[in-house]
Amino acid sequence: MRRVVVTGIGLLTPIGSGKEEFWSGLIAGKCGIAPVTSFDTSAFPVHKGAEVKEFKPEVFLRRRSPQEMGRGSQLAIAAARMAIEDSGVEISSYERSRVGVSMGTTSGEPQIVERYNDIRKSEGLDSIPKELPPKYPCHVIPSNVAIEFDLHGPCLMIPTACAAGNYAIGYGFDMIRIGRADLILAGGADPFSRITYMGFARLGAIAPDRCQPFDKNRQGMVPGEGAAILILEPLEAARARGAKIYAEVLGYGVSCDSYHMTAAHPQGDGAMRAMSAAMRESGVSLQDIDYINAHGTGTPTNDRVESLAVRRLFGEYADKIPMSSIKSMIGHTMGAASAIEAAACALAIDTGIVPPTINYEVPDPECDLDYVPNQARRVDPRVVLNNAYAFGGNNASLCIARCEN
């Protein structure tokens, strides 16, 4: 089977867009959390969010107009264009049926639902324009990407909520590995949504001010938005065209808690099985893992369970593995989260530096690992795990590594 490498990164995040801005912000511990501007939060008990600032979709759309699609599709296309440019691939030199799109999301195009309901409330169902509802189903996001770049290969959305980015990168990895595709645009996208915000607010899961993963006084997550696309291609092809190789995808593991729709299994069983499966498929052992990019949402339960799962799986060796959560800086970007985090893993491997967990002040006895508090660190990681957990009890861990030999 073919080896698969990451050769391009494109992203839009609450701390900046494009690889350089994102990475320099991450290393500097920049925070993208601010008062929500997408909608009026006065009726909510919380007011902060992690939005992508000053996004101009028309800069990235060449074939169609922004009005023809929702914000999820706009973000996805923008990330895809950045990734393609970063990778230097000439899409026109490929057989189009062998270039595909694999994406993840939590809610797809929730802003379309919001507009649907706004019109329904003010003017009634009959006034909903016929162009609006077809923009909703989440598969239109990868289809819009395929149309923008004229890609005729495999094209799907894997809406496995907040673990979706890892699933999507995994599928792209599979398609290249088995020889079904020669290039896959893989990642995730989720636009900011009042629905998501309302749901998490009602669950009491949103932190009022800061996101403090693994800190004893953490108060919750902060909803965000974003998109990331990684360019995946066979190692041989990347070498043949002299491409910059950020990292190699070694494998992934997925599991389901089958326990509760929103709460993690209290002992982290599913999370452990996903990490184990990822390492098994990748042919690496516990001691090979140099860094873990945590799901680390900042909720009391997630961070405790994730720490426990890592401790149970890695035992004493867990003390030697730096594990940070970039959600402390970019918030929880939902279905885009693990794709953005996979990009961070690739950049960590490429630069040798791992991003910090910011806002970390008071250690929690139930979270007893090395969370890279507040300062980025040179670790020179060779093999890393990217963890993601989601509603539905979904767990996905992606294993990526420095590309050697």
Partner 1 sequence: MSMRIVATGTGIISSLAAGAGDFEAGLYAGRTGIGPKTLFADSVPGGAAGEIRDFAPQQWLGNKGLRVLDRSARLLCVAAHMALESSGLSQQRPAEGDSDLGLVCGTMFGSVHSITSFDWSGLLDGPNLVNPMEFPNTVINSPAGQAAIKHRLRGVNSTISAGLVSGLYAIHYAMEFLRFGRAQALLAGGVEELCEESYLSCKKAGITSPQDRIRPFAPDRDGTVLGEGSALLVLETEEAAIRRGATPFLEVCGFGSSHDAHSIDTFNVRAAGATSAIRLALLAAGIEPDEIGFIVASASGSRTGDAMEAHALENVFGKRLAAVPVCAPKAAFGESLGASGALLAVAAGIALQKNLVPPTAGFEAGEPGLRLSSSPQPFEGDYALVNCFGCDGNNASLVLKAAGSKQ
Instruction: Give the nearest distance from C-beta 247 to partner 1 in angstroms.
Output: 21
Instruction: Give the nearest distance from C-beta 205 to partner 1 in angstroms.
Output: 10
Residue (of 66, 73, 110) closest to 223 by Cα position: 110
Considering only residues 164-183, where is the footprint of partner 1 by CB under 8 A?
167, 171, 174, 178
392: left (phi over 0), alpha (psi -120 to 50) or beta: left
367: left (phi over 0), alpha (psi -120 to 50) or beta: beta
Q: Which of 138, 155, 162, 345 is catalytic?
A: 162
Nearer residue to partner 1 within complex by CB, 109 or 341: 109
Q: Counting contacts by CB under 8 A, is residue 224 touching partner 1?
A: no
Considering only residues 281-340, where is the footprint of partner 1 by CB under 8 A?
281
Nearer residue to partner 1 within complex by CB, 156 or 398: 156
Judged by CB under 8 A, which stretch of 11-19, 137-145, 296-304, 339-347 contacts partner 1? 137-145
Considering only residues 337-376, where is the footprint of partner 1 by CB under 8 A?
none
Considering only residues 1-40, where is the footprint of partner 1 by CB under 8 A?
none
Instruction: Give the nearest distance from C-beta 156 to partner 1 in angstroms.
Output: 4
Task: Report which DSSP code applies to 357.
Answer: B
With CB under 8 A as the contact rule, the residue among 128, 237, 286, 379 that binds partner 1 is 128
For 92, 302, 342, 367, 388, the CA distances from 138, given in Å and listed in that order, are 27, 27, 21, 36, 20
Q: Counting contacts by CB under 8 A, is residue 240 touching partner 1?
A: no
Instruction: Give the nearest distance from C-beta 336 to partner 1 in angstroms.
Output: 14
Under 8 Å between Cβ of 351 and 291? no
Q: Counting contacts by CB under 8 A, is residue 153 touching partner 1?
A: yes
- 399 carries an active-site annotation: no
- 332 carries an active-site annotation: yes
347: left (phi over 0), alpha (psi -120 to 50) or beta: alpha
With CB under 8 A as the contact rule, the residue among 358, 390, 399, 400 that binds partner 1 is 390
Nearer residue to partner 1 within complex by CB, 97 or 375: 97
Instruction: Give the nearest distance from C-beta 240 to partner 1 in angstroms.
Output: 25
DSSP string, 221-245: B-BB-EEEEEEEEEHHHHHHTT---
Write the CB contacts of 57 (distance below 8 Å, at least 6 apart in sequence): 66, 71, 74, 75, 77, 78
Distance, in Å, from the CA atom of 326 to the CA atom of 322, rounded to the nearest integer, reads: 13
